[in-house]
Amino acid sequence: WEGQKEQSQESVQSMMTGLGIALVAMYILLTLQFTSYLQPVLIMMIIPFGAIGAIAGHAILGLPVTMFSLFGLVALTGVVVNDSIVLIDFINARIGEGLPPRQAVIEAGQRRFRPVLLTSVTTVAGLTPILMETSLQAQFLIPMATSLCFGIVTATVLVLLLVPTFYSLLDHYFNISHAQIGRAHV
């Protein structure tokens, strides 16, 4: 038991190290893509909200958080970042076309709502059969599917609400739309 516990701790520690490296790499790539230091922070600020949904999903289903749950959380990070990128990129494109930031944010919420929602719904629909499976083999994957499904549902709602809100706040205080957009979409 002691050896197994030590091995589990090493696995969790190495996974957290890998997650940290992945987050730094994401930030660097997003900084290069958006030519901004603040917009990647805005995109990555949504990640913890997905984790809240994943933990809530485990509580709702009465499942313990396992190693596979943590794998699901790592995978969830990519999905949440992707949804945020869809909105931020659309906002930047509209501002690059000359729209005022407030109008660009509103239009992004209206025009990107369906693509963000459909991406999340199809992912959750694809994972739902795993959640319903009762076979012994599936029992190992159910915590990972739970993290992904509940995290995606929570994060999607919050991405659609918080990304435009955070963008507006950052633009108001740091003028992020005018400082970087001209260079990013020339």
- pLDDT tens, position by position, 110-162: 999 999 999 999 999 999 999 999 998 888 899 999 999 999 999 999 999 99
Is residue 59's pLDDT more than 90?
A: yes
CB 72, CB 55: distance < 8 Å:
no
- 3-state percent breakdown (helix, strand, coil) of the chain, nearest 5: 85, 0, 15
Is residue 70's pLDDT more than 50?
A: yes
CA dist 39 and 5 (Å) reads 40
What are the two backbone dihedrals, phi and then psi, of residue 98, each rounded to the nearest 5 degrees? Answer: 110, 0
- pLDDT tens, position by position, 4-27: 778 888 888 988 898 899 999 999
